[in-house]
């Protein structure tokens, strides 16, 4: 890297900082601060806009656990909340820059990128930088059997490419952000059992997107006795099947999530007082937590809640029965505390909250309305 120096002058002194030093310091700063520094000088803008810097800052943010809670309101606004604060402090209130897509719903997310969907139109958005990109329309989805029921985003580190995956009953399509086009595939590893009118968010971790498929819906409940986990692997560029762990037995209801950056299973058996969370380690599935002796709550927990995030101290943030109801479980106290702000909507039709990494990364060419961008930064 260049050894040029940036000079800062005051009335009495002149301070010279090597570019390498500024580069290193900037990797620790939040995105909002970096976006403001871009307007200070051309040298600083060049550093922050550099692709190498964006990747290092992205990795540093993951290492520091710099993640936020993104919640979509029925009005179309988004809340960006601080996961580290006990009351989930509101950091920013966002509105998607493009007016005609402000009612688009969050379909899935990967690190700092969010996929929004409005009917048959998809747009990739980085809420930290306000950059967005409308994906090219997919002709395969205009067919009679071309109604997507599951989606996901993942990063291909070999090709340095982000990919969007949409799964239908008889085929799936992959969108390459680098190429800007869709590819259709039919190589399913097992029969698809996607529940009608149900949208499945992919769980992204370690270069793969995972989905949990359930066989049928009986009396309003999902029958998970023959559940299947499938995943898209960027290395093989195919959807494959993941063997179900032995602890998932009959009458068990399990869902997928990601905790501590790894694939996790959560759930248990209905009408029992035990709720389990398992995490995929290098040596296989290991139990992360066993919530027991809470029979009055756990009967509902098996079907109604979902773990979203785990703190360094082991507390688990849960989405409650309603998608905007938030609870934190404290293992030492064996206690659930509701942390939803009083103005949260209980509308179950609203998209569920997403965990979003603070990142400068954005694939390829982006569109950004500068006036709206600057206005949001000043709020």
CB atoms within 10 A of CB 350: 18
Q: CB–CB of 150/202 below 8 Å?
A: yes
Measure the CA–CA gap between 365 and 54, rounded to whole angstroms.
Answer: 15
Q: What is the pLDDT of residue 166?
A: 95
Domain spans in the chain, listed from the N-terminal domain onward: 5-49
Contact 280, 263 (CB under 8 A): yes
Q: Distance between CA 180 and CA 364 in Å, rounded?
A: 9
| pLDDT at residue number 89 | 85
Cα separation of the two ends of the chain: 35
Of 325, 225, 204, whose CA–CA distance to 213 is shortest? 225
State the Cα–Cα distance between residues 252 and 119, nearest whole angstrom: 34
Q: How far apart are CA 231 and CA 203, in angstroms?
A: 9
The pLDDT profile of the chain, 379 residues, written as one tens digit per residue, is: 444 455 544 444 455 678 888 899 999 999 999 999 998 889 899 999 999 999 999 999 999 989 999 988 877 789 888 888 878 888 888 899 888 888 899 999 998 999 999 988 999 999 999 999 999 999 888 766 668 889 999 999 999 999 999 998 889 999 999 999 999 998 888 776 665 556 788 999 988 999 987 644 444 444 444 468 899 999 999 999 998 888 877 667 788 899 998 999 988 776 666 788 999 998 899 999 888 755 445 445 556 788 999 998 899 999 876 666 888 989 888 888 888 755 555 554 567 889 999 999 998 766 654 434 444 444 4
Residue 341 is predicted with a pLDDT of 59
Q: What is the pTM of this model?
A: 0.84
């Amino acid at each position: 890297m260049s050894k040029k120096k940036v000079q800062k002058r005051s009335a009495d002194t002149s301070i010279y900082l090597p570019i390498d030093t500024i580069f290193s310091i900037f990797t620790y700063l939040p995105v909002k601060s970096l976006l403001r520094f871009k307007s200070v000088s051309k040298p600083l803008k060049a550093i922050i806009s550099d692709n190498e810097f964006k990747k290092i800052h992205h990795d540093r943010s993951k290492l520091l656990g710099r993640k936020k809670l993104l919640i979509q309101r029925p009005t179309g606004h988004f809340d960006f909340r601080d996961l580290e604060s006990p009351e989930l402090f509101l950091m920013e209130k966002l509105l998607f820059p493009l007016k005609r897509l402000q009612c688009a719903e969050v379909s899935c997310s990967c690190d700092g990128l969010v996929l929004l969907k409005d009917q048959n139109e998809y747009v990739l958005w980085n809420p930290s930088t306000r950059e967005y990109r409308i994906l090219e329309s997919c002709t395969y989805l205009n067919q009679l059997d071309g109604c997507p029921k599951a989606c996901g985003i993942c990063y291909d580190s070999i090709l340095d490419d982000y990919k969007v995956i949409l799964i239908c009953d008889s085929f799936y399509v992959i969108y390459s952000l680098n190429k800007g086009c869709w590819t259709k595939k039919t190589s399913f590893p097992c029969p698809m059992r996607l529940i009608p009118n149900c949208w499945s968010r992919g769980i992204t971790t370690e270069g793969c997107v995972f989905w949990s498929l359930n066989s049928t819906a009986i009396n309003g409940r999902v029958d998970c006795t023959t559940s299947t986990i499938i995943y898209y692997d960027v290395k093989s560029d195919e959807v494959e099947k993941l063997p179900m762990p032995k602890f998932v037995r009959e009458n068990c209801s399990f869902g997928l999530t990601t905790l501590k950056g790894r694939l996790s299973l959560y759930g248990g058996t209905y009408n029992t007082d035990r709720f389990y969370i398992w995490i995929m380690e290098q040596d296989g599935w290991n139990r992360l937590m066993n919530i027991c002796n809470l029979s009055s709550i756990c009967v509902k927990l098996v079907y109604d809640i979902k773990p979203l995030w785990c703190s360094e101290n082991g507390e688990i943030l849960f989405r409650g029965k309603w998608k905007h109801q938030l609870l934190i479980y404290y293992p030492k106290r064996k206690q659930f505390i509701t942390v939803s702000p009083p103005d949260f909507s209980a509308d179950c039709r609203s998209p569920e909250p997403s965990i979003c990494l603070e990142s400068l990364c954005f694939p390829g060419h982006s569109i950004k309305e500068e006036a709206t961008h600057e206005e949001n930064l000043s709020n």
